[in-house]
Copies of this chain bind each other. A is one copy, B any other.
């Protein structure tokens, strides 16, 4: 696998980082993944995926400050890089293109305008 490949789990995590913004730290991301996908995940899988994507240059991270909540230790906040955005966009465009070629889905695409 070349260094620019984006796995399915990676892609979803990357999108969640974008969606969560300031709140994009591992624990929250894993939680959000479960809520949105209805699928279980583990904090470990989330962490290794985040680290891998940071190494690939799709994400960057920095430690935030501790909050004054019980157990509120410092969080590592992730943000998408320009490269990460580009890769996400390419992935989306490619998929849109395939869906539009598949008769069973092509018609459904129109209804998307309603989103």
Chain A residues close to B by CB (< 8 Å): 2, 5-8, 11-12, 15-16, 18-19, 36-37, 39, 85, 88-89, 92, 94-105, 109-110, 112-113, 115
Contacts and interface: CB of A to CB of B under 8 A. Distances in A.
A76 to B, nearest CB: 21
Given A7-B7, A7-B8, A8-B6, A18 B112 contact: no
Contact of A102 (B7, B19, B115): B19
B18 A104 contact: yes
Nearest to A38: B94
Contact of A8 (B11, B88, B112, B113): B11
A108 to B, nearest CB: 8
